[in-house]
Each structure stands twice: as structure tokens, then as C-alpha cells.
């Protein structure tokens, strides 16, 4: 093709990109992950599901059958809300578990992250407050920050959000939403107690403020007793965000929302503008996986893998860490959380950790309004057992050398 010299020179660096996009920070976690993936580094930094938990053989068989039996619809355009059979089975499962639901309550999303994004888009206008736990999921903060949200933060203890602080915060900040990760929270691994759940749905209903229960880990409980979900307690007052990422495979980018039908209808319009619909083929995979009863045994296997890894990490921590450190003991999910001595900065420790070939995520980015200098998050789902033993040993040495 002939190359023609243009008279006028373009300068994309001068294009007027909206200020709130330019100001958006790249996720600090993604930056940390770059360091963590250096050769020889044992990483507790990521939040990746255990690769050995992926049901690859099953997915391969299901994929082949889908191509054979209804390939033409499985790779075709489909509904913005998601394919009907998947919404039906998700509604049925929710109903069986204490949340009466119909297909009109379900919207399939491209991962729970898109659920957060749709909520933010539908609800948040610049300057609006969101009430949330401190610390909280950094990917949610990032999505909310884009819409110029502000935060009314509530402290946590080992029963989760201190709900007794919520009324005062609501009266002071009039938040548009309450955002919580009630089960095995990212980053702390803490689960909200049943008493607190009941209190939270009551007070949210009193002020008619929607609760967003971001619940990607709820099915991965390997210790303690099952608890009613916020959605089962709060009904129409709660929008539950769920995900196939931790219970099947994150690379399919599939999640779902369960919310009041009038609100789902609004989200559907936004979803349609955003990406028309989530990938049809992955939805058929998820449907087949659920409808053939493959999910329950698979969850048992995941719980065993994660429970074993968590037990190993906790016992290594108890054995090796110096005094002055507190840690959470999660009953499920992928993460635990360390409180280092007050004077220690986990951020400053990070480059020294990478030198020692071990990585974590320091806690500051999880605090909406700053703080958490002496905290850090450890993931136990990705590393194998040898790495957990060796990596906790390296961290122990690091801590001993730097406290």
C-alpha cells in the first residue's frame, strides 16, 4: 500500500480525555503483581483461584457437547440479561437457599467486577457517599472512584463491619449505597456475624438505602457454620453480586446479580450499552455445569484445597512469625490479613520482601480514606504447599529483621 505523507500532524497526546479518566490510577495491585511475577518470587500477592481447582476435563467435555448440540445458538448474539436457562437455574438455586427469586431478578454480568461497575454507573453521581467497611475490596474502590464517589467508612472487628456505627454514619453522610463483602472479605478474610447481618438489613431498610453484597467467595466455606446471606435476610433491600470466577473459572468472565426486578431492568439498559451481553458460550458452560449437578462436588473439592492451604499457612505463621503481629483466621475464601506492629510500614517492607523473593499486597490501597499503614494481605489459594512453607519462612525472616 502506498504511504501518503499527511499535510497535518496529529498529536493524540493532546486529545481531550475526560479528567476523571486521566486521574484514574492504575490499580496498585496490578503494579504489585508485576513485581510478584519475577522469577523465583513466591507470591502471596495475587487473588488467583488455585489453578489445580479448575475443572478442565469437565469443561472440555461440556464444550464439545455444546458445540455439537446447540453450537449455533451458543456462539450467537443473545439477550442482554443473559441466556434464559442459566437465569432460570440461578433463580431456582437462590430460591432453594432462602432467597425467593425469578428470572427477572437475575442479570448475567461479565464477572462480579461488572456487577460493581453497573451498580456504580446506575447509582453514583459525583460526590455521592458510599458506606463501606474499612478496609474493603480495592477493585470496588477503583470502580467507584471513577464516578467520583466519596466514602463513609465503618471499622471492622472479627464479626465484620461494626454495625453499631452505621446509623451515625448514615445520618452524617446520607450514603447512596452500602457496599459490603460480607463473606470471607477481600482483603481481611473476615465474615460478618449473623447478628450484625440482621442489624444491617434493618437499618438499611429503615433509611431505604440499597445494600450491595459483593459475594464472590460465599460458596467457599471450609470451616465454621453456614450463615444466612444478607440477600436472604434483607430481600429486596439487597443487591447480591455473585461470580463464577472463584467457583468455576475466572477466565470465562461470568458473574450474576440478584436484585429487585425494577432495578435489574435499569442495569440491563446500562449493560446493553456497555457490551450488549456477556459471552454466550461461557454462559452455556456455566449452565451445563450447574444443571448436571457438577457444581456441588466441585465446590467440595475447592473447599478442601483452600482449607488445607489456609490451615498450612496459619500453622506456619503460628510457628514462625515473631510476636507483635495479629492475623485473621478466615473460615473461607482466599485471603488472610496481618496487622503488623503500629510503627511498621508494610509499603516500605514491600521492596525488601521482593528482594527476599516473597510478595504480598500492602494494606493501604484497601482503605478508602487512608490508613492501614501497618497492614498487609496474604493470599493462600495460588501458591502450592512447598511455596507456602518456604514463603512464610521468608516473611518471618523479613519481619524479624525489620521490626
Per-residue x/- marks for its own copies, 336-365, CB under 8 A?
------------------------------
DSSP state of 364: G
Q: How many CA atoms lie within 13 A of 244 on its CB side?
A: 27
* Nearest distance in Å: CB 394, its own copies: 24
Among 165, 193, 279, 291, binds its own copies (CB under 8 A): 279
| Cα separation, 375 vs 135, whole angstroms | 10
1 binds its own copies (CB under 8 A): yes
Query: Which 54-113 residues touch its own copies, going by CB under 8 A?
Result: 54, 56-57, 59-60, 63-64, 67-68, 71-78, 80, 97-98, 110-111, 113
Closest distance to its own copies from the beta carbon of 287 (Å): 13
Q: Please, which residues bridge with residue 155 across strands?
A: 134
Grid coordinates given for 260: 429487585
Among 270, 305, 389, 398, binds its own copies (CB under 8 A): 270
| Angle, helices 385-402/346-355, rounded to nearest 10 degrees | 120
Residues 282-321 that bind its own copies (CB under 8 A): 282
Q: How many CA atoms lie within 13 A of 371 on its CB side?
A: 11
Please report the DSSP string for 108-144 in residue order.
EESHHHHHHHHHHHHH--TT-EEEEEES--HHHHHHH
Smallest gap from residue 22 Cβ to its own copies (A): 7
3-state secondary structure at position 277: coil
d(CA 88, CA 94): 10
Binder among 129, 137, 281, 289 for its own copies (CB under 8 A): 281
* Choice between 74 and 313, CB closer to its own copies: 74
Q: How far is the CB of 372 from its own copies (least distance, A)?
A: 22
Check residue 122 for interaction with its own copies (CB under 8 A): yes
Is 253 near its own copies (CB under 8 A)? yes
Binding to its own copies in span 230-249, by CB under 8 A = 232-237, 245, 249
* The pairing of beta strand 177-180 with beta strand 211-214: parallel
Burial of 7 (0-12, 13-18, 19+ CB in 10 A): exposed
Q: Are 184 and 336 spatial neighbours (Cβ–Cβ below 8 Å)?
A: no
Q: Which of residues 29-48 bind its own copies (CB under 8 A)?
A: 30, 48
Nearer to its own copies, 285 or 340 (CB): 285
Amino acid at each position: 500500500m502506498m504511504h501518503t505523507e499527511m499535510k497535518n500532524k496529529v498529536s493524540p497526546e493532546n486529545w481531550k480525555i475526560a479528567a476523571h479518566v486521566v486521574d484514574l490510577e492504575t490499580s496498585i495491585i496490578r503494579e504489585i503483581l508485576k513485581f510478584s511475577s519475577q522469577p523465583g518470587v513466591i507470591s502471596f500477592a495475587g487473588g488467583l483461584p488455585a489453578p489445580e481447582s479448575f475443572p478442565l476435563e469437565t469443561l472440555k467435555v461440556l464444550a464439545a457437547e455444546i458445540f455439537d448440540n446447540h453450537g449455533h445458538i451458543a456462539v450467537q448474539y443473545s439477550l442482554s440479561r443473559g441466556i434464559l436457562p442459566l437465569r432460570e437455574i440461578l433463580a431456582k438455586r437462590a430460591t432453594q437457599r432462602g432467597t425467593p427469586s425469578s428470572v427477572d431478578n437475575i442479570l448475567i454480568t461479565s464477572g462480579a467486577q461488572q456487577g460493581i461497575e453497573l451498580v456504580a454507573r446506575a447509582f453514583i453521581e459525583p460526590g455521592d457517599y458510599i458506606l463501606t467497611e474499612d478496609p474493603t475490596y480495592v477493585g470496588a474502590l477503583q470502580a467507584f472512584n471513577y464516578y467520583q464517589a466519596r466514602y463513609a467508612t465503618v471499622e471492622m472487628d472479627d464479626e465484620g463491619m461494626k454495625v453499631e456505627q452505621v446509623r451515625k454514619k448514615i445520618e452524617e453522610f446520607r450514603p447512596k449505597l452500602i457496599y459490603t463483602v460480607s463473606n470471607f472479605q477481600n482483603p481481611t478474610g473476615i465474615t460478618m456475624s449473623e447478628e450484625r447481618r440482621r442489624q444491617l438489613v434493618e437499618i438499611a431498610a429503615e433509611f431505604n438505602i440499597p445494600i450491595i453484597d459483593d459475594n464472590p467467595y460465599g460458596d467457599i466455606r471450609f470451616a465454621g457454620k453456614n450463615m444466612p446471606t444478607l440477600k436472604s435476610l434483607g430481600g429486596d433491600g439487597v443487591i447480591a453480586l455473585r461470580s463464577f470466577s472463584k467457583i468455576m473459572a475466572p477466565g470465562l468472565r461470568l458473574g450474576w446479580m440478584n436484585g429487585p426486578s425494577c432495578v435489574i431492568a435499569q442495569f440491563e439498559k446500562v449493560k446493553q450499552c456497555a457490551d450488549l451481553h456477556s459471552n454466550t458460550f461461557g454462559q452455556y458452560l456455566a449452565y451445563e455445569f450447574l444443571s448436571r449437578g457438577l457444581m456441588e462436588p466441585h465446590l467440595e473439592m475447592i473447599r478442601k484445597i483452600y482449607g488445607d492451604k489456609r490451615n498450612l499457612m496459619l500453622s506456619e505463621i503460628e510457628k514462625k512469625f515473631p510476636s507483635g503481629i495479629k492475623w485473621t483466621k478466615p473460615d473461607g475464601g482466599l485471603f488472610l490479613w496481618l496487622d503488623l506492629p503500629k510503627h511498621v510500614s508494610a509499603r516500605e517492607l514491600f521492596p525488601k520482601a521482593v528482594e527476599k523473593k516473597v510478595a504480598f499486597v500492602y494494606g493501604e490501597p484497601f482503605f478508602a480514606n487512608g490508613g492501614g499503614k501497618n497492614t498487609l494481605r496474604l493470599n493462600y489459594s495460588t501458591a502450592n504447599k512447598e511455596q507456602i512453607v518456604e514463603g512464610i519462612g521468608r516473611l518471618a525472616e523479613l519481619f524479624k529483621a525489620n521490626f
